[in-house]
Amino acid sequence: MLGALAAMILFCVAGSALFIVLLIVISSMGEKHVSVEPGSYLVVDLSTNITDAPPVLDFGMLTGDAVEVIQLRNATKAIRSAAKDSRIDGVLITGSLRPDGLGSGYAALAEMREALSDFKTSGKPIHAYLTYASTRDYYLASVAGDVALNPFGVIIMPGLATEPVFFANAFERFGIGVQVTRVGKYKSAVEPFIRDDLSAENRLQLQSLLNDIWTGLISDVAASRDLTVAAIQGVVDAEGLIRADKAKDAGLIDRIIYQDEILDELKLATGRNGTELPFKQISLREYAAVAPDPGGYGTGRIAVVYAEGDIVDGEGEWTQVGGDRFARELRKLRQDDKVKAIVLRVNSPGGSATASEVIQREMRLAAMEKPVVVSMGSYAASGGYWVSTYSDRIFAEPTTITGSIGVFGIVFDVKELAGNIGINFDSVKTGRFADALSISRPKTDAELAVLQRSIDWIYEQFIEKVAESRHLDRSVVEEIAQGRVWSGSEALKLGLVDELGSLNAAIRYAAEQADLGGGYRVTEFPRRKELGEAIAELLQRLQPAGARSGIYSDLLRRMEMELKTLNAYNDPQGIYARLPINLTFR
């Protein structure tokens, strides 16, 4: 007993000490003094995940699951500020992106690339050093005037592909019933649950979408590298995994060198040749903390609201767009006289139709009182388009995935699964449809007809809203809807968006519409987590160490993503306006 008591006391003391140390570490995160030495290079380390929304306080470093996050707007602001900063002599791009969730999408990378191109016009050099470069990495690095690759490095750029996961056979094997209703021949979000392959319509729209995005990517690369699109496609199809010598022969890179060689060159360029000190440098993350805001002054405020994640009913989690939470924030901004304009940045595949309407209602009310502008990120589809359509102007990137104007319903039942383990259900009810939403049994034809009527009505409302807000004939909207997914460049041709441009372009437009000129400040929502919230998250996330890389980890992450999607299906009516699948590009 004494031994056990002593162990408990020791555990409590050690735990308290660890907790105090943790608080000290957290406090020190914001106390680091950042200075920029004259003649420094800005190091853009791609070993991060680029998100639209400000990252909440993350404990990844302490839980063994470290994926650094940097906010897109902070990154682009820092790069553009560095172009005018006399202390910054150039940029070094290195590392390899670590996409996670909806982060580091091609639309976000296009904005990063635009900022790097703006830096390049200042006359300062941009060097890129790569070892294992994915398509995303090379897309950014190709803007550099000097692209170098490790002799044993490779550019992994075989083209774009997407591989949806299908659960129908697994559900059948385990006795999980699935019944669906939908409107729109391209509205294929239900296919993973009822099929084991792509439908012809889904295959057609995905092929068209990938073609649009891929053409945009290699067109940008071709312009930067003074190559033709056909030449790049030729080497991609011939090599797939492009070795250093093949990459140089094709003009994709300028040099083949080792890392120590480029580091020595940078030491010489920054006046530290022959010393043991590294070349003068400052990381993008550190510089972003001290880089001035392009607006930066004035009494007028522009509120940037980041709708990033699945749109869900209620408050939602931090990685979701909770309908009630976002509507409440939009209402506050609408009623705040200091806020002169609102920019909604959408990076969402959609989700709950009910939640989308709750948010759209507040967007419409806000647009009656002040400029409301939408900036579409990598995804702004279905529910993501629903919340966008009534804004004064919609900006998108060519590689934005948008449209998907369609609605579907999905209901599950566990009757067979429960029966296999000896569990049965029975019911007593006072109305014909009283237990229609139960998961204990399949739905009757009459019950499915009720759900289909709701789906049809919501789809009609969706069509009507788009036609009204976008000033399009209803017949035109009906033709381009049907759940069809479009790229940003195609959406512009169809009238679904107004202009191709970045988040910064949307903010500038909002400032002009609010007569703020160049004098304004930008505030953002969601806010960062408070310390107590972050600590609570840490306690929830603490878990035994396991495999974090390799095939197991990749499969686990993919399954977690699909399960999170299932968990996001929380609309009270079971009706959704969501992107057909979780699009992941290889």
CATH class of domain segment(s) 37-158+240-290: alpha beta
Render pLDDT for 211-227 as a digit per residue (tens, 0 to 9). Answer: 999 999 999 999 999 99
Task: Give the side-chain half-sphere CA count within 13 A for 239.
Answer: 21
Name the range with the highest mean pLDDT among 53-62, 174-183, 550-559: 174-183
For residue 157, give every residue at least 6 positions away whose Cβ sits within 8 Å of its Cβ, in sequence order, or none.
133, 134, 135, 138, 236, 240, 242
Out of 81, 134, 142, 187, the active site residue is: 187
pLDDT at 141 over 80: yes
- Quote the pLDDT of residue 317: 85
Q: Given 3-state DSSP classes, what are the helix, strand and coil percentages for the chain, each rounded to the nearest 5? A: 45, 20, 35
The per-residue pLDDT for 105 is 95
Strands 177-183 and 521-525: unpaired
Percentage of the chain surpassing pLDDT 70?
83
Q: 284 near 45, Cβ under 8 Å? A: yes
Task: State the average pLDDT over residues 183-200.
Answer: 92
Taking residues 339-368, what's their average pLDDT? 97
* pLDDT score, position 60: 46
Of 352 and 26, the one with more pLDDT = 352
3-state secondary structure of 384: helix
Give yes or no for residue 484 having a pLDDT over 50: yes
- Out of 348, 356, 382, 489, pick the active-site residue: 382
pLDDT, greater one: 569 or 246: 246
Mean pLDDT, rounded, for 45-73: 76
The DSSP secondary structure of 339-383, one letter per residue, reads EEEEEEEEEE-EEEHHHHHHHHHHHHHHHTTS-EEEEEEEEEETH
C-alpha–C-alpha distance, residues 164 and 485, integer Å = 15
* Residue 552: predicted pLDDT: 45
Owner of token pair 């790569």: 130
- The tokens for 37 are 């030495």
Q: What is the structure's pLDDT at 503?
A: 97
CA-based nearest residue to 398, from 101, 56, 78, 106: 106
Taking a C-beta distance cutoff of 8 angstroms, is the pair 452, 546 a contact?
no
- What is the percentage of the chain residues whose pLDDT exceeds 90? 71
pLDDT in tens, 379-417: 999 999 999 999 999 999 999 999 999 999 888 898 998
Q: Which residue, 206, 218, 133, is CA-closest to 163?
A: 206
User: C-alpha distances in angstroms, 234 versus 50, 162, 224, 240?
Assistant: 30, 21, 17, 10
Residues paired with residue 155 on neighbouring β-strands, in sequence order? 133, 242
Does the pLDDT value for residue 74 go beyond 70? yes
Give the DSSP letter string of 440-486: SSPPPHHHHHHHHHHHHHHHHHHHHHHHHHHT--HHHHHHH-TT-EE
Residue range(s) of every CATH 3.90.226.10 domain in the chain: 37-158+240-290, 301-419+433-528
Residues in the chain: 586
Note the helical H segments in 250-341: 259-269, 284-290, 323-335
Residue 18, pLDDT above cutoff 90: no
Residue 551's pLDDT is: 41
Distance between CA atoms of residues 328 and 94, nearest Å: 41
Rounded Cα distance between 98 and 196, Å, is 29
CATH dotted code for 301-419+433-528: 3.90.226.10
Its pTM stands at 0.84
Give the range with max mean pLDDT: 24-33, 277-286, 517-526.
277-286
pLDDT of residue 534: 54
Question: At 300, is the pLDDT very low, low, confident or very high (cuts 50, 70, 90)?
Answer: confident
pLDDT band, very low/low/confident/very high, at 41 (cuts 50, 70, 90): very high
Retrieve residue 124's tokens.
Answer: 């300062």
Output 435 or 341, whichever has higher pLDDT: 341
Q: Is 187 a catalytic residue?
A: yes
Please write the tens of the pLDDT for every residue from 531-561: 555 555 555 544 443 434 444 455 456 566 6
Instruction: Let me know: does 393 contact 373? Beta carbons within 8 Å.
Output: yes
Six token digits for residue 458: 């919501």
356 is a catalytic site residue: no
- In the block, which residue shows the tokens 């000490």? 17
At 24, the pLDDT band (50, 70, 90 cuts) reads: low
8-state DSSP, 530: P
Spatial CB neighbours of 504, under 8 Å, sequence gap ≥ 6: 73, 76, 111, 294
